């Protein structure tokens, strides 16, 4: 792992001259891009469920991105991002051969499925639900499960056909793949929650676990449906991450009766315990300086992750 100095807010690398070169760039849609980054030390320790932080240059902001894939032999890590803000739009302009200044990781906890006893995992029927760019963090999980002999199902949902990504890669790793689009331009017409109901009620599928990754509003409604169905659900709260170290307070969550931080304690949590309404409200407030100040005042010492050195400043 490439360590980071939280107190000074800088990246600490064993080789200051190392360049995180873009080895491959692929356009998955008009605004979604895939890149393979040369990062041998990071790829050596990657697992599904974790994330990295990219910083383009001295003036660039830190961008947390979930790991889409990794190749330990080639020393590369695959990232997928949507160019929607100024930083990600600028990142989309980078081409093969150019390099990022920092590529920190892997960060966060790996998927709990990896550490689950084989006997227990082999008995579970699992459905993955990927919404939009959420297909990127779903892919390494289904790929790992396939490589270790486990069959799972997957739903990919998007607003329209053009925004369905990684379909071919995921299809090779799952038993059954279902695609649905809001406008009906491809696959089932409707959202992922409707198709979960279709599978359970009309196709008599019985699932022991659902892993849902995508926009927070999607994960919220998936959890409402799966709670009614009595199916345990894991969600990835990477959409609320900003700094990735617990310092900024952006990804503070209420999970059950506990305060958690997506970047340090997650990013995966029991979806039925996550307070999505609070998380979405905080995410909106955090976008303004006034909102950040208000959150910091209201939450006091719990605004940052316990042990964060920013308390000492």
Give residue 285's pLDDT.
Answer: 57
Residue 264 resides in a domain: yes
CATH assignment at residue 79:
2.40.30.10
Task: Render each residue's pLDDT in the chain as its tens digit; 313 residues.
Answer: 333 333 333 333 334 456 899 999 999 999 999 999 999 999 999 999 999 999 998 888 888 899 999 999 999 999 999 998 889 999 999 999 999 999 999 999 999 999 999 999 999 999 999 999 999 999 999 999 999 999 999 999 999 999 999 999 999 999 999 999 999 999 999 999 999 999 999 999 999 999 999 999 999 999 999 999 999 999 999 877 666 555 656 677 889 989 888 888 889 999 999 999 988 887 665 455 555 555 454 544 554 555 544 444 3
Q: Are residues 219 and 256 in the same domain?
A: no
Give residue 247's pLDDT.
Answer: 60
Q: Are residues 145 and 245 in the same domain?
A: no
Q: Are residues 224 and 254 in the same domain?
A: no
With 0.75 as the threshold, say if the pTM is over it.
yes
Q: Are residues 71 and 14 in the same domain?
A: yes
Q: Are residues 194 and 260 in the same domain?
A: no
CATH assignment at residue 189:
3.40.50.80
Give residue 14's pLDDT.
Answer: 39
Q: Are residues 51 and 117 in the same domain?
A: no
Q: Are residues 134 and 34 in the same domain?
A: no
Domain boundary among 200, 231, 262: 231
Give residue 31's pLDDT.
Answer: 93
- Tokens 């799966």 appear where? 226
List C-alpha distances in Å: 183 to 176, 208, 217: 22, 30, 18
Give residue 3's pLDDT.
Answer: 35
Give residue 231's pLDDT.
Answer: 98
Token pair belonging to 252 = 């503070």
Q: Are residues 181 and 138 in the same domain?
A: yes
Domain boundary among 210, 231, 252: 231
Residue 173 resides in a domain: yes
Residue 49 resides in a domain: yes
CB 87 within 8 A of CB 60: yes
Peptide bond into 267 cis (omega under 30): yes
Residue 313 resides in a domain: no
CB neighbour class for 133 (10 Å; exposed up to 12, middle 13-18, buried from 19)? buried
In the chain, how many H helices and how many E strands? Answer: 11, 18
Residue 178 resides in a domain: yes
| CA gap 150, 255 in Å, rounded | 29
Q: Are residues 8 and 59 in the same domain?
A: yes
Domain total of the chain: 3
Token pair belonging to 182 = 């809001």
Q: Are residues 137 and 48 in the same domain?
A: no
CB 192 within 8 A of CB 202: no
Q: Are residues 188 and 247 in the same domain?
A: no
Q: Are residues 90 and 192 in the same domain?
A: no
What's the domain range around 152? 112-231
Domain boundary among 77, 107, 137: 107
């Amino acid at each position: 792992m490439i360590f980071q100095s939280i107190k000074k807010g800088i990246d600490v690398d064993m080789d200051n001259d190392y360049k995180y070169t873009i080895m491959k760039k692929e356009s998955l849609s008009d605004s979604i891009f895939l890149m393979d980054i040369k990062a041998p030390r990071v790829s050596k320790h990657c697992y599904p469920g974790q994330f990295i932080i990219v910083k383009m240059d001295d003036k660039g902001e830190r961008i947390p991105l979930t790991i889409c894939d990794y190749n330990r032999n080639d020393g590369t890590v695959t990232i997928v991002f949507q160019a929607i803000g100024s930083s990600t739009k600028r990142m989309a302009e980078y081409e093969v051969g150019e390099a990022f200044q920092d590529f920190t990781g892997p960060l966060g906890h790996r998927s709990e499925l990896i550490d689950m006893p084989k006997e227990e995992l082999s008995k579970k029927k699992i459905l993955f639900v990927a919404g939009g760019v959420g297909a990127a963090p779903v892919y390494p999980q289904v790929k790992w499960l396939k490589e270790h002999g486990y069959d799972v199902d997957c739903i990919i949902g998007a607003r329209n056909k053009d925004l369905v990504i990684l379909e071919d890669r995921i299809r090779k790793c799952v038993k059954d793949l279902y695609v649905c689009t809001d406008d009906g331009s491809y696959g089932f017409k409707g959202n992922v929650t409707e198709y979960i109901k279709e599978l359970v009620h009309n196709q008599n599928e019985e699932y022991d676990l659902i892993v849902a990754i995508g926009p927070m509003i999607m994960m919220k409604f998936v959890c409402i449906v799966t709670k009614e169905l009595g199916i345990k659900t894991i969600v990835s709260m990477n959409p609320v991450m900003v700094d990735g170290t617990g310092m900024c307070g952006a990804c503070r969550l209420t999970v059950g009766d506990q305060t958690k931080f997506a970047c340090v304690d997650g990013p995966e949590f029991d979806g039925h315990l996550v307070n999505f309404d609070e998380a979405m409200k905080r995410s909106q407030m955090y976008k303004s300086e006034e909102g950040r100040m208000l959150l910091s005042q209201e939450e006091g010492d719990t605004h940052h992750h316990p042990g964060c050195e920013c308390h000492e400043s």
